[in-house]
Chains A and B, each alone.
Chain A
Amino acid sequence: MQREVREFVATCHLAKGALVTSLTLMDPQALENDARAAVADASSTDDVERIRVEYLGRKSQLKLALREVRDRETGMALNALRERLAAAIDGREGELARAEIDRRLTEERVDVTMPGSPVRRGHLHLITQIRREVEDIFLGLGYTVVDGREVETTRYNFDALNFPDGHPSRSPLQTLFLDDDTVLRTETSPAQIRTMEAQGPPVYIVSLGRVYRRDTPDATHTPTFHQVEGLVVDEGITLADLMGTLDYLLKALFGEARRTEFRTHHFPFTEPSIEAHVSCHMCDGSGCPVCRHSGWIEIGGAGMVDPKLFEFVGYDSDRYTGFAFGWGLERIAVLRHGIPDLRELWRNDPRLLSQF
C-alpha cells in the first residue's frame, strides 16, 4: 500500500513538471544522467525508493517509452538503460541501508542493567520440593509412591503396627482422636499395612504425606507435619540393605561427601531397630551449633519389619524379610535450608514462599 502511495505522489510530481511523456521527446542519455545524479544525491533509503518510482515506476518516462517502443534496437537500448538504472538504484539502496544499520548499531543502546518486562512466577512450597526430591530418589530405585489416607482406624494406625497397650502414642495426650477407634494418622505407616494387605510380596514403596500429633506448636513442632516412609519386603532383605538404602538417600539429600552412622534404637514396628545419623553438612563433622557440637545429625528411625506386622497381613515371615523407615520432611527443610521456625512453613508469607 505504501508503495502505491509513493507512486501516486511521484506521478503528480511529474505532472506538475509538465513533462510530456513521449518517446520522441525523451533523451535517454539525459534521463540516465539525471537519474544517476539523483541516485548519487539520495541520502536515505526513502529517497532511493522515491527515485526508483520516478525513473522506473509504472508511470515513469522510461516505462511509458518502453510501452510505446516499436523497434527492436530502441527496445534493447531502453531495456539496457532500465537495467543499468535499476542496478545503480539497488546499489545505492544497499549502501544506504548498510549505513543506516551501522548508524542504528552505533546510536542505539539500552541500559542493560534495567529490569526486564515483568513475568509473574510462582513457587512450589519448600516441602513439596523436598517431597518430590525424595520421591524421585526412590522412583529411581524402582519404588512406587503410595498416597495412603489421613484419617485412620486405630487398628491400622496402632494395632497393626504392634503398638502395645499403654504406648504413649495411643494416648489422647499425643494423638488426635475422632472417636475411640478413629484417629488422624500419627505416621504414614498405616499405608504400608494397607499396601501389604492389598498385594503380596515383593513390596517396594514409599509413602509421603501429612501426619498429625497433638503437639503444641513451637519453632520445632507443628501439630501437622510431613513424613516419608519406605517399606521393602522381599526374599533376602537384610539390615545391610536398609543401611545401604539410607546411606544412598542421605548422600542424595545432603551431599556425596557425607558419612552415615546407624545406631540401635527401639520402635514397636521394627526389630532390630536403628536410627540414622549423617555427618553434619555444615561443619563436616567437626562440631557446630547445627549438630549441637556432636558432628552428627539425627535424621530418623528405621528397622527390619517386625514379624508381627507380617502376621497381621498374612505374609510368611520365615520366607520374607523387610525393612521400613520413616522420617520427617520438615527436618530436612530445617537442616538443609536453615528454616528457623517450622510454623513459618504454614503461614504462607509471600516473602518466604518466594525464596524457594
Chain B
Amino acid sequence: MRAPLSWLREYVTVDAPADEIARRLSISSLEVERVIYVGVADVDGNLGRFLVGRVIAVEPHPNADRLRVCHVDVGEGEARQIVCGAWNFEAGATVAVALPGARLPILDVPLDERELRGQHSRGMILAEDEIGLGDDHAGIMVLAEGPEPGTPLVDVLPIHDRVLDVTPTINRVDLLSMVGLAREVSALFDGDFHPPAADDPAIVDREDVDVTVEDFGGCPRYIGRVFRDVSIGPSPQWLRSRLFLAEMRSISNVVDVTNYAMHVWGSPLHAFDRTRLAGARVVVRRARPGEELRTLDGTLRRLTTDDLMITDGERSVALAAIMGGEESEVTAETNEVLLEAANFEPLGILRSSERLALRTAGSNRWEKGVDPYLAEPAAVLASRMIVDLAGARMTGHVDVQSGLPERPVVRLRTDRASRLIGLVVAPDEQRSLLERLEFEVSPEWDVTVPTWRARDVTREVDVIEEVARVVLDRVPHTMPLRRHVRGRLSKDQRLRRLVEDVLVGAGLSEAYTWSLAASDPDSRAIRLPDPMTSDQAILRTTLFPGLIEAARTGLDAGAVDIALFEIARVYLPSDEQLPDEHWRVAGVVAGGYEAVKGVLEVLYAALQLDLRVERGQHSLLHPGKSATTEAGWLGELHPTLLDGVWGAFELDLTTLFAPVPERVVYEDVLTFPAVLQDIAVTVDEDVEAGALVDAAREAAGPLLREARVFDVYRGEQVGHGRKSVAIHLAFQSPERTLTEEEATAFRDEIVALLVERFGAELRA
C-alpha cells in the first residue's frame, strides 16, 4: 500500500522526518519497502515558486492558434502574463502557477521567463503530470475555488511529498489504511492522533433501502445507503492527487470516493447504479450453479456455489468483496447510487479470489479479515463526500447485521511481559503504549482489545507482543543460560561427515540431485498425485538416476575424469502413512569396476570396516561386473546408461555404519616383524580371488595378518580356462617373532587347502 506522508500527517501530529518514520515503522509495525520521493524539490526556496493563481483574463495569442495569453493574479498586485497551451479553463479559474526559476521534475533546468511566438511569458500554468501529481496532460489543473491568489501551492496540493510503500503482515490488515498507519505512528512517536471525523449527512426524504442477507456467515454486516440527484463528474484536484500518490486511478467523483474511504479506513466500499438493480434491491447469497457474471474488467466469470454474490434478487450484480459487475457500474449517466459498506468473511473470499485468479485492492483486505465495525466510519466518510462532491442527497440507510463480535479482554501480567522480552518495561510504559494503540487497560490490567485487532490479539502473549514490538529496538542481545546442553553430533551424523570427507579426499565431488524424479526403478515408488512437472513426480527409492544425470551434465560440459557422490535420503514405500526414509550414499566414477571398488575400499578402510562383496545383479549395472555388499551394491554402470565406462555404487548408511567400531584398539604390529611369503597358484577361471583369500585365512588362522591378491595372469603357460593368481601373505604374531619355518608351514597348509578345494596348482 502507498501512504503519502502529507495525508498521514493530517491524522497524526509528528515532527519526525520521513526516513525516521519509515525506520520506526519497519522495526515495530510493518515492512516499509521504500520511501518514494515525489513532486518538486524543496531546495533553494523552490517550493516558494509554486503559487495558487487566479486567471483574470484570457486572450487569443496573436501569432499562434494553439496558444492563449493569460493574465494571472498570483497575489503580487499586478497580474502576470503567461502563455498557455491548454484550453480547459477560462477567466476566473483557480490554477497552479510555477514562477520563473522554479525547478520542475520534468525539466532539467529551472523554468525561464521567455518569449513564446513574440509574447512574453512569466511563468507556467501547471498540469498535474508536470509536478508529479498525476498522469493527465489533457489540460491544466483547475483547482477548487477558495484559496487566495498567492497562497503557497504546497498548502493546497501535495506538490512536495514522501510516499511510504508499505506491506503489512497478514495479521495486520488494520495497517492497510491511513487511519491504522497514523495510529501506529502516533503510538511509536507519542504524537497526537486525530482520525477524520466526518459529519454524517442528514437523511432527507427518507426512503427504505431493501437489503437482505441470506448468508450471514459470508456477510456478517451490510450497510446500504441510497443517494439521489447524484452528479457524476471528475473529482477535485486534491482528491485526484491523493489517489494518484496512493497508486489509485481517478475514475469519477463517486467511484473515487469509495476508493478514498477504503484507503482511509481500510474497509472497502462499492457503489452501484441503483437504477440498474432490479427492484432497487440487494440480496446477498451464494452463486447458483452455472451462474455467470461479467465483472468490471470486462471478463465473463463462471461462478461456483461457493462464491458469494451481491444480487438484486434476480441476478448477480457483483462478486462480493472482489469486484463489481459491469452492468451495475456507476457511469456518467448515473444519478441514483446505492453505496455498499459491508463486511465479508475472509476464507471464502480468499478461496474465490484464488480460484478466479482475481485479486483486487478490496479482496486483498477482505481475505485478511477486516473489522466489521469499520464499515460504519467508512460509510459516513463516503456519504459525506458524495453529498459534498457530487451534490447528492442521502435518502436512505440500512445496517443489516448478525451481531458484531465482542472485544476480547485479556489479563496482562506486566512482569511476565518483561521476563519474556528480556527487558524491564515499566508497567506505566506498558500501559501508555497499549493505550496509544487504543487498547483499554483497566487498573487491574484487564486489557480490552480494539475491534480492529480482535482477530489477532486474543491471549496474554499477543498483548505482550504489542509491548515487545514497540520497544523492539531497545531489547538487549543476550545468550540463553544453557545449563543443560550437550553439543555434539550423533554417531551417524559424525560418520556421514566422515564419508563426505573420505570421498572428497578420494577425488569425488558432491552433487545435489532432486528427491523427486521422473521415474524410478521401483514400480511401487510413491507418486505425487499432482506433481509440479512430470520431471518431479516420484519420490525416489535410489539416488542413482540423479547421479547419472549429473555425470551427463559433466560430460556435456566437457569434463573428464568425472567422479561424483551424493548423500541424501530415499523414500521407500511402507504400510504406514509415511514412507521409510533412509540415508544413502551413492557415487558415479569414471573408470569401471576397479575404479569404484578402489573408492569403496578406501571408504570402508576409513570406517574401520572390511569391504566384503559377492557377485550380484542390479538392473542398472553390467551383469558381469556387479556386486553386492551388506549395505548395498557396486559395479560397472550398464553401458546403455551413459557413454564411456563408469563405476557406480549405492550404500545404505544405517547398514553401513552399524558395525563401525566405537573406537580402534591398539594392536602390536611393531615389536615383532612380519614374515612375508608370496604364492602363485593356477585355478579355473571362475574361481574368485576372494574365495582363495578366504580359504587362505581359514587355513592359516589369525597369524595370517594380511593376504592380498596382487597379480592375476592368464596365458599359454597356465592353459586355457585357467588363471594364475599371486597372493601376498604376511604372517605376524603380536607375541613373538615367527620363524621362516613356521611361516612356511602355514603357507603349505594354505596351499594344501587351495589344492583340495579349488584344484589349485602351485606355480611358485
A229 CB within 8 Å of chain B: no
Q: Is the CB of A353 within 8 A of B509?
A: yes
* Binary interface encoding of chain A residues 47-59 relative to chain B, with 1 for a CB under 8 A from any of its CBs, else 0: 0000000000000
Q: Is the CB of B487 within 8 A of A348?
A: no
* Binary interface encoding of chain B residues 540-573 relative to chain A, with 1 for a CB under 8 A from any of its CBs, else 0: 0000000000100110010101111100110100
Q: Is the CB of B553 within 8 A of A349?
A: yes
Of A30-38, A61-69, A82-90, A231-239, the one contacting chain B is A231-239
Query: In the complex where A238-B419, A248-B479, A346-B514 touch, is A139 in contact with B489 (Cβ < 8 A)?
Result: yes
* Binary interface encoding of chain B residues 61-73 relative to chain A, with 1 for a CB under 8 A from any of its CBs, else 0: 0000000000000
A244 CB within 8 Å of chain B: yes
In the complex, chain A residues whose CB is within 8 Å of the CB of B30: 264
Among B464, B564, B578, contact of A272 (Cβ-Cβ < 8 Å): B464
In the complex, chain B residues whose CB is within 8 Å of the CB of A263: 26-28, 31, 472
Q: Is the CB of B529 within 8 A of A272?
A: no
B516 CB within 8 Å of chain A: yes
In the complex, chain A residues whose CB is within 8 Å of the CB of B28: 263-264
Query: In the complex where A152-B578, A349-B554 touch, is A271 in contact with B476 (Cβ < 8 A)?
Result: no
Q: Is the CB of A177 within 8 A of B530?
A: yes
Q: How far is the CB of B174 from chain A (nearest CB, A)?
A: 13
Q: Is the CB of B486 within 8 A of A144?
A: yes
B354 CB within 8 Å of chain A: yes
Across the two chains, which residue of chain B brings its CB closest to A263? B27
In the complex, chain B residues whose CB is within 8 Å of the CB of A127: 512
Q: Is the CB of B472 within 8 A of A177?
A: no
The answer for the CA separation of A263 and B172 in the assembled complex, in Å, is 14
B708 CB within 8 Å of chain A: no
The answer for the CA separation of A243 and B511 in the assembled complex, in Å, is 35
Q: Is the CB of A348 within 8 A of B475?
A: no
B519 CB within 8 Å of chain A: no
* Binary interface encoding of chain A residues 139-152 relative to chain B, with 1 for a CB under 8 A from any of its CBs, else 0: 11111110101111
The answer for the CA separation of A9 and B464 in the assembled complex, in Å, is 104
Among A150, A265, A351, contact of B569 (Cβ-Cβ < 8 Å): A150
Contacting A at CB under 8 A, from B20-50, are: 26-31, 34
Q: How far is the CB of B365 from chain A (nearest CB, A)?
A: 15
Query: What number of residue pairs across chains A and B have CB atoms under 8 A from each other?
Result: 226
A345 CB within 8 Å of chain B: yes
Q: Is the CB of A125 within 8 A of B512?
A: yes
A26 CB within 8 Å of chain B: no
In the complex, chain B residues whose CB is within 8 Å of the CB of A123: 504, 509-510
In the complex, chain A residues whose CB is within 8 Å of the CB of B472: 262-264, 274
| Interface band, chain B | 35 or more
B500 CB within 8 Å of chain A: yes
Among A139, A153, A184, A240, contact of B478 (Cβ-Cβ < 8 Å): A240
* Binary interface encoding of chain A residues 272-288 relative to chain B, with 1 for a CB under 8 A from any of its CBs, else 0: 11100000000000000
* Binary interface encoding of chain B residues 483-522 relative to chain A, with 1 for a CB under 8 A from any of its CBs, else 0: 1111111100100010010011111111111111000000
Across the two chains, which residue of chain B brings its CB closest to A306? B461
Contacting B at CB under 8 A, from A248-276, are: 248, 260-266, 271-274
Q: Is the CB of A122 within 8 A of B488?
A: no
Of A12-20, A94-102, A108-116, A165-173, the one contacting chain B is A165-173
Across the two chains, which residue of chain B brings its CB closest to A248? B479
The answer for the CA separation of A328 and B516 in the assembled complex, in Å, is 20
A75 CB within 8 Å of chain B: no
The answer for the CA separation of A202 and B472 in the assembled complex, in Å, is 26
B736 CB within 8 Å of chain A: no
Among B421, B483, B532, B539, contact of A223 (Cβ-Cβ < 8 Å): B532
B720 CB within 8 Å of chain A: no
Q: Is the CB of B169 within 8 A of A265?
A: yes
Most chain-B Cβ atoms within 10 A of its Cβ — which of A144, A265, A348?
A: A348
Q: Is the CB of B421 within 8 A of A238?
A: yes
A182 CB within 8 Å of chain B: yes
Among B497, B515, B557, contact of A350 (Cβ-Cβ < 8 Å): B557
In the complex, chain B residues whose CB is within 8 Å of the CB of A214: 532
The answer for the CA separation of A127 and B679 in the assembled complex, in Å, is 50
Contacting B at CB under 8 A, from A192-219, are: 202, 204, 210, 212, 214, 216
Among B483, B488, B526, B532, contact of A139 (Cβ-Cβ < 8 Å): B488
Q: Is the CB of B354 within 8 A of A144?
A: no
In the complex, chain A residues whose CB is within 8 Å of the CB of B255: none
Q: Is the CB of B528 within 8 A of A177?
A: yes
Q: Is the CB of B500 within 8 A of A128?
A: yes
The answer for the CA separation of A172 and B351 in the assembled complex, in Å, is 12
A179 CB within 8 Å of chain B: yes
The answer for the CA separation of A182 and B536 in the assembled complex, in Å, is 17
In the complex, chain A residues whose CB is within 8 Å of the CB of B559: 350-351
Across the two chains, which residue of chain B brings its CB closest to A265? B169
In the complex, chain B residues whose CB is within 8 Å of the CB of A151: 526, 539, 571, 578-579, 581
Across the two chains, which residue of chain A brings its CB closest to B476? A240
Q: Is the CB of B469 within 8 A of A124?
A: no
Q: Is the CB of A241 within 8 A of B529?
A: no
B299 CB within 8 Å of chain A: no
A28 CB within 8 Å of chain B: no
Q: Is the CB of A224 within 8 A of B516?
A: yes
In the complex, chain B residues whose CB is within 8 Å of the CB of A132: 497
The answer for the CA separation of A125 and B550 in the assembled complex, in Å, is 13
Query: In the complex where A127-B512, A247-B477, A264-B27 touch, is A149 in contact with B420 (Cβ < 8 A)?
Result: no
Q: How far is the CB of A151 from chain B (nearest CB, A)?
A: 5
A3 CB within 8 Å of chain B: no
Q: Is the CB of A348 within 8 A of B550?
A: yes
* Binary interface encoding of chain A residues 322-346 relative to chain B, with 1 for a CB under 8 A from any of its CBs, else 0: 0000000000000000000000011
Contacting B at CB under 8 A, from A285-341, are: 294, 304, 306-307, 321
Contacting A at CB under 8 A, from B451-467, are: 459, 461-462, 464-465
Q: How far is the CB of B97 from chain A (nearest CB, A)?
A: 35
Across the two chains, which residue of chain A brings its CB closest to B459? A307
Q: Is the CB of B493 within 8 A of A244?
A: no
In the complex, chain B residues whose CB is within 8 Å of the CB of A128: 500, 510
Query: In the complex where A153-B577, A214-B532, A240-B477 touch, is A173 in contact with B354 (Cβ < 8 A)?
Result: yes
The answer for the CA separation of A210 and B508 in the assembled complex, in Å, is 22
Q: Is the CB of A139 within 8 A of B487?
A: yes
In the complex, chain B residues whose CB is within 8 Å of the CB of A153: 577-578
Among B420, B423, B493, B578, contact of A147 (Cβ-Cβ < 8 Å): B493
A245 CB within 8 Å of chain B: yes
In the complex, chain A residues whose CB is within 8 Å of the CB of B171: 266
The answer for the CA separation of A182 and B506 in the assembled complex, in Å, is 39
Query: In the complex where A139-B488, A348-B564 touch, is A124 in contact with B500 (Cβ < 8 A)?
Result: yes
A40 CB within 8 Å of chain B: no
Q: How far is the CB of B559 from chain A (nearest CB, A)?
A: 4
Q: Is the CB of A120 within 8 A of B507?
A: yes
Q: How far is the CB of B662 from chain A (nearest CB, A)?
A: 19
In the complex, chain B residues whose CB is within 8 Å of the CB of A122: 503-510, 563, 565
The answer for the CA separation of A321 and B420 in the assembled complex, in Å, is 7
Q: Is the CB of B529 within 8 A of A138?
A: no
Across the two chains, which residue of chain B brings its CB closest to A165? B347
Q: How far is the CB of A124 from chain B (nearest CB, A)?
A: 5
In the complex, chain A residues whose CB is within 8 Å of the CB of B497: 132
Write 11 A-B pairs (CB below 8 A) sorted by A numbering: A124-B510, A128-B510, A147-B493, A177-B530, A184-B515, A240-B423, A241-B480, A350-B557, A350-B559, A351-B559, A353-B509
Binding site for A on B (CB under 8 A): 26-31, 34, 169-172, 346-347, 350-351, 354, 419-423, 459, 461-462, 464-465, 468-469, 472-473, 475-490, 493, 497, 500, 503-516, 526, 528-532, 536, 539, 550, 553-554, 557, 559, 561-565, 568-569, 571, 577-579, 581
Binding site for B on A (CB under 8 A): 119-125, 127-128, 132, 135, 138-145, 147, 149-153, 165-166, 171-173, 176-179, 181-182, 184, 202, 204, 210, 212, 214, 216, 223-224, 232, 234, 236-241, 243-245, 247-248, 260-266, 271-274, 294, 304, 306-307, 321, 345-351, 353-354
10 more A-B residue pairs beyond the given contacts A184-B515, A243-B476, with a C-beta to C-beta distance below 8 A: A123-B509, A138-B487, A144-B486, A204-B482, A204-B487, A244-B476, A264-B465, A294-B34, A348-B511, A349-B553
